[in-house]
Amino acid sequence: MSLLKTVICVLWAVCVGQTAGSQNGPNIIIMLMDDMGWGDLGVFGEPSKETPNLDLMTAQGMLFPNFYTANPLCSPSRAALLTGRLPVRNGFYTTNAHARNAYTPQEIVGGISQDEILLPELLKKKDYVSKIIGKWHLGHRTQYLPLKHGFDEWLGSPNCHFGPYNNSVRPNIPVYNNSEMTGRYYEEFEINVKTGESNLTQIYLKEGLDFISQQAMAQRPFFLYWAPDATHAPVYASERFLGKSQRGRYGDAVMELDDSIGQILAHLVSLGIQNNTLVFFTSDNGAAVMSGPHQSGSNGPFLCGKETTFEGGMREPAIAWWPGRIPAGTVSYQLGSVMDLFSTSLSVAGVLPPDDRVIDGLDLSPVLFNNSLLDRPIFYYRGNQMMAVRIGQYKAHYWTWSNSWEEFNMGINFCPGQEVPGVTTHTPEEHTMQPLIFHLGHDPGERYPISVQSKEYRDVHRQVTAVVEKHLKDLIPGMPQLNMCDLAVMNWSPPGCERLGKCLKPPQSNPWKCDWPH
């Protein structure tokens, strides 16, 4: 969009924005970070205080210290967010082995099932225009792509930005503009793995600002799913931010994302649509502490990180912002989940959720608008296994596992510097008959299991048992989509590759049961 066009649209929107807003459902923006930890925000204690814009967003909105992902890994977390359903229901899990984290690397055959109904599909009923910017991760084969599942627009990529690859054994990951590829990472979309420099966040920022301007001008309600991946290894930042933080490249990436979020919020204000836009900020899983200090964020006081069902793996930073609707400067102790973003978005848009399936998300409207507290459990899944459940301040572990001795002895550590005997176990340990129970208020770091001989334990155990029995009784697992792998399905020849002369020749199909090591 040209500058003149932007100025006109801003002026025009300032005059009509409010009126237009009252005719439509509110705009919805979900800002989903990748592998950013709870402890990475200034407001959640990062010593370097790199997030002045998110801290300001908090002061103007509602902070959720008890907000969770549905799975400690990208793909199932994102599938849960967009379907409002646990991965074990929507199929984003594996049955190849017990309690294993599965996701969508290039060789995955599956993706989001045609039977699932995604948030943007439902928002169409109220004439929303939906755009995803950034990482999709719900399958990269043609039938799984965002424009087949309700999104109207897309700039971004189906997979993580790993690489560079040599395009013979493994192709570089494509970047899509809507339904066709527009280049590949490390080719048209540069990431310098050595220096950490890339302009991707700036590209995703500009795309977001432009989309918002366009919809404001068109007076159409919009859903923007803004999912940059700069904080996922290999972490990157643009030149202006490189070297600017107190803690290296990861912090630089955080600073650039924070700056971008500040710009997006300021843009909403300048367009005069801030009172008609719900913005929700969160992350897809805990910080990847196994990646060492240079490529990983912080999980603050919590145990372990990404891939695990300890708090460090699943508790997420979360802020809701809607000036005039959500009271400024509030803290909600509500137990929340990324799946609630599905239900809450539908609620504010005035769309009923599907009634032919179980929805795990909760409509947080009473929380956002009246600071109510809704009673609900949080289930911590790893693959096909419910590992733990939280009710109120209590968390009960039915299974514990960090990672295998085999991996651990190779130096892969999901809980570096942390070890709680009997808790951070290196074999999957079942505690079904006598779950490990922690009080997360007293003990957010899951270091002091409550004595099984105490009355407190017996009382909590009774309550938790009822919740778990009900959950498991009603649970009908969906068809697992992440069981099969095949090198032939990789991003050799994405749609649009012909036009760009970037089609690659796939190898012969030779599918195998994916091996998910942890």
Query: Which C-beta is closer to a second copy: that of 292 or that of 507?
Result: 292
**251: partner contacted, choices a second copy, Ca ion, none (Cβ within 5-8 A by kind):** a second copy
Local structure of residue 185 (DSSP, 8 states): B
**Side chain identity at residue 399, one-letter code:** W
Phi, psi (degrees; rounded to nearest 5) at 325: -110, -50
Query: Which C-beta is closer to a second copy: that of 294 or that of 513?
Result: 294
Would you count residue 257 as binding Ca ion (CB under 5 A)? no
Out of 9, 15, 74, 267, the active site residue is 74
Residue list 28-87, contact with Ca ion (CB under 5 A): 34-35, 74
Would you count residue 316 as binding Ca ion (CB under 5 A)? no
Local structure of residue 141 (DSSP, 8 states): S
Residue 259 annotated as lining a ligand binding site: no
Total residues at the site for a second copy (CB under 8 A)? Answer: 45
Pattern of binders to a second copy over 238-277, x per CB under 8 A?
A: -------xxxx-xx--------------------------
Whole-number minimum distance, CB 47 to a second copy, in Å? Answer: 4
Whole-number Å distance between alpha carbons of 71 and 69 = 6
Would you count residue 47 as binding a second copy (CB under 8 A)? yes
**66: partner contacted, choices Ca ion, a second copy, none (Cβ within 5-8 A by kind):** a second copy
Residue list 314-373, contact with a second copy (CB under 8 A): 331, 333
Contact assessment for residue 84 and residue 359, using Cβ atoms and an 8 Å cutoff? yes
Q: Which residues pair with 135 in a beta bridge?
A: 157
Local structure of residue 509 (DSSP, 8 states): P
**196: partner contacted, choices Ca ion, a second copy, none (Cβ within 5-8 A by kind):** none
74 is an active site residue: yes
Widest Cα–Cα separation across the chain: 71
Helix axes 339-349, 74-83, angle to 10 degrees: 20
CA atoms within 13 A on the CB side of 470: 10
Local structure of residue 396 (DSSP, 8 states): E
> What is the separation of C-alpha 434 from the centre of its chain, rounded to a whole number of angstroms?
32
**284: partner contacted, choices Ca ion, a second copy, none (Cβ within 5-8 A by kind):** Ca ion
Would you count residue 284 as binding Ca ion (CB under 5 A)? yes
439 is an active site residue: no
**206: partner contacted, choices Ca ion, a second copy, none (Cβ within 5-8 A by kind):** none
Residues 244, 312, 261: CA angle, nearest 5 degrees = 40
**285: partner contacted, choices a second copy, Ca ion, none (Cβ within 5-8 A by kind):** Ca ion
CA quadruple 468, 361, 45, 331: dihedral sign: negative
CB neighbours (10 Å) of residue 463?
A: 14
Residue 127 annotated as lining a ligand binding site: no
Contact assessment for residue 88 and residue 104, using Cβ atoms and an 8 Å cutoff? no
Whole-number Å distance between alpha carbons of 303 and 326 = 31
Whole-number minimum distance, CB 77 to Ca ion, in Å? Answer: 7
Out of 9, 137, 232, 485, the active site residue is 137
Phi, psi (degrees; rounded to nearest 5) at 146: -55, -40
CA atoms within 13 A on the CB side of 55: 15
Query: Which C-beta is closer to a second copy: that of 345 or that of 400?
Result: 400
CA atoms within 13 A on the CB side of 147: 14
Residue list 412-451, contact with a second copy (CB under 8 A): 416-420, 439-448
Contact assessment for residue 413 and residue 431, using Cβ atoms and an 8 Å cutoff? no
Residue 284 annotated as lining a ligand binding site: yes
Judged by CB under 8 A, the residue of 5, 7, 11, 45 near a second copy is 45
Whole-number minimum distance, CB 383 to Ca ion, in Å? Answer: 16
Residue list 136-165, contact with a second copy (CB under 8 A): none
Whole-number Å distance between alpha carbons of 370 and 331 = 12
Whole-number minimum distance, CB 343 to Ca ion, in Å? Answer: 22
Residue list 270-299, contact with a second copy (CB under 8 A): 292-294, 298-299
Tokens of 344: 């809450």
**189: partner contacted, choices a second copy, Ca ion, none (Cβ within 5-8 A by kind):** none
Tokens of 491: 């991003």
Pattern of binders to a second copy over 21-40, x per CB under 8 A?
A: ------------------x-
- Which single residue is written with the structure tokens 């991965």? 87
Would you count residue 340 as binding Ca ion (CB under 5 A)? no
CB neighbours (10 Å) of residue 113?
A: 19
Judged by CB under 5 A, the residue of 71, 90, 285, 483 near Ca ion is 285
Residue 285 annotated as lining a ligand binding site: yes
Judged by CB under 8 A, the residue of 25, 183, 300, 478 near a second copy is 300
Whole-number Å distance between alpha carbons of 186 and 315 = 32
Neighbouring residues of 23: CB distance < 8 A, sequence distance ≥ 6:
219
Whole-number minimum distance, CB 318 to a second copy, in Å? Answer: 12
Tokens of 305: 């990180």
Under the rule (CB under 8 A), what is the footprint of a second copy? Answer: 39, 42-49, 59, 63, 65-66, 245-248, 250-251, 292-294, 298-301, 303, 331, 333, 393, 416-420, 439-448
Annotated binding site: 34-35, 74, 284-285
Catalytic residue numbers read 74, 137
Residue ranges that bind Ca ion, judged by CB under 5 A: 34-35, 74, 284-285
Enumerate the known binding-site residues for Ca(2+): 34-35, 74, 284-285
